C-alpha cells in the first residue's frame, strides 16, 4: 500500500519520546522546538505530572506549538511509545560501558535517509536522571551531543532542538540536494581550465607581473586559488577574455 506523502516523510516518521520528564515547562519547550523544525510526533512516557500536557507552564512554554501538545500521547511504558518503530536511538549525555554504537546528531541525521519509510524514534531522558541503562541497551544507537566535557548536560528541550534541527537539515538536503542559490552553469572541463591557466600565464608575463626567469610560486598559487572553486565554462571564458585583452592592450601600447 502506498502511504500518503505526509505519512512517509521524515517529519511524520520521526517520533520524539520523552521519558519521565519532570518539568512541564520543558515539555512545552520541546513541543515548540519540534514544531519550529516541522516535527509533530511527541510521546511522553510517565511524565512526573499526569496533567503535563495541559499544565499552565507547558502551555506557556509551547507558545505557538499548542497543537503539538494537544496531539501528544501519554503512555505508561517505553514499549508503548515505540510500537512500530524500526530504529530507536537513545539520546544521552552519558556514555556507558555497555552501549549501542555511538553516533553524533549529524551522523544519525544522515543515516535517516537510508531507513526509507520506516518509523524511527529518538528517546530522551529525564532532567534529573537521564535515561536508565535498561532503555539504552535496547536501543539501536546512542546519540551523544559532543558538548563541553566539563559541562555536557544540555537542557532537555535544547537537546531536542538540536536533534530536530540536524534531522531537518539532513532531510531537506536529501530532498533538494545541497541548497544552491540561484543559477548554476555547466562546469568547465579540466582541459578548458588548463587552457585558461596558460592564457593567464601569458598575460601575466606580458605585463611583467610574472617573470619567467623567476616565476616563484605564482602559477601554483593561482591554481590552488581556482581549484577551491568549481569553475564554470562561462567563468573560464571570462578569464580568457581578460587575458586576451591584457595581451592586446600590452601589444597596442608597445607597438
Q: Return residues touching ligand SAH (CB under 6 A).
A: 91-94, 124-125, 127-128, 130-131, 144-145, 147, 152-154, 156, 159
Residue by residue, what is the 3-state secondary structure of 178-191?
Answer: CCCCCCCCCECCHH
Do the Cβ atoms of 69 and 99 come closer than 8 Å?
A: no
Q: 88: closest CA among 119, 114, 109, 116? A: 119
Residue 23 three-state SS: coil
Half-sphere exposure of 191 (CA within 13 A, CB side): 0
- Judged by CB, which is closer to ligand SAH: 68, or 103? 103
Q: How far is the CB of 185 from ligand SAH (least distance, A)?
A: 43
Q: Minimum CB separation from ligand SAH for residue 74, in Å?
A: 18
For ligand SAH, which is the closer residue by CB, 119 or 125?
125
Rank residues 160 and 204 by Cβ distance to ligand SAH and give the closer one. Answer: 160
Give the shortest CB-65-to-ligand SAH separation in angstroms: 18
Q: Nearest distance from residue 28's CB to ligand SAH, in Å?
A: 15
Nearest to 245 by CA among 212, 203, 195: 203
Phi and psi, residue 209, nearest 5° = -80, -30
Residue with the three cell numbers 519532570: 22
Residue 89 or 193 with smaller CB distance to ligand SAH: 89
Q: Nearer to ligand SAH by C-beta: 127 or 173?
A: 127
Q: Report the distance separating Cα 59 and Cα 70, nearest Å.
A: 10
Of residues 157 and 200, the one with the C-beta less far from ligand SAH: 157
Smallest CA-to-CA distance from 172 within 112, 228, 238 is with 112
Taking CB atoms, the residue at the shortest distance from ligand SAH is 130
CA dist., res. 226 & res. 203, Å (int): 17
CB of 118 to ligand SAH, least distance (A): 22
Minimum separation from the CB atom of position 123 to ligand SAH (A): 7
Residue 18, beta-bridge partner list: 44, 124
Amino acid at each position: 500500500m502506498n502511504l500518503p506523502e505526509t505519512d512517509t516523510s521524515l517529519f511524520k516518521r520521526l517520533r520524539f519520546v520523552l521519558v519521565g520528564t519532570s518539568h512541564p515547562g520543558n515539555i512545552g519547550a520541546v513541543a515548540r522546538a519540534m514544531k519550529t523544525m516541522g516535527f509533530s510526533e511527541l510521546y511522553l512516557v510517565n511524565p512526573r505530572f499526569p496533567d503535563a500536557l495541559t499544565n499552565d507552564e507547558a502551555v506557556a512554554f509551547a507558545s505557538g506549538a499548542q497543537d503539538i501538545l494537544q496531539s501528544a500521547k501519554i503512555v505508561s511504558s517505553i514499549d508503548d511509545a515505540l510500537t512500530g518503530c524500526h530504529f530507536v536511538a537513545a539520546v544521552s549525555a552519558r556514555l556507558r560501558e555497555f552501549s549501542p554504537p555511538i553516533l553524533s546528531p549529524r551522523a544519525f541525521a544522515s543515516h535517516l535517509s537510508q531507513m526509507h519509510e520506516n518509523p524511527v524514534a529518538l528517546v530522551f531522558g529525564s532532567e534529573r536522571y537521564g535515561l536508565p541503562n535498561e532503555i539504552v541497551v535496547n536501543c539501536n544507537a546512542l546519540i551523544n551531543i559532543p558538548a563541553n566535557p566539563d559541562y555536557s548536560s544540555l537542557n532537555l528541550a535544547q537537546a531536542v532542538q538540536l536533534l530536530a534541527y540536524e534531522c531537518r537539515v539532513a532531510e531537506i538536503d536529501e530532498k533538494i540536494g545541497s541548497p544552491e542559490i540561484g543559477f548554476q552553469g555547466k562546469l568547465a572541463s579540466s582541459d578548458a581550465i588548463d587552457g585558461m591557466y596558460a592564457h593567464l600565464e601569458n598575460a601575466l608575463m606580458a605585463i611583467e607581473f610574472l617573470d619567467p626567469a623567476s616565476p616563484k610560486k605564482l602559477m601554483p598559487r593561482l591554481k590552488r586559488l581556482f581549484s577551491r572553486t568549481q569553475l564554470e565554462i562561462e567563468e573560464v571564458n571570462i578569464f580568457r577574455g581578460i587575458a586576451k585583452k591584457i595581451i592586446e592592450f600590452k601589444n597596442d601600447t608597445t607597438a
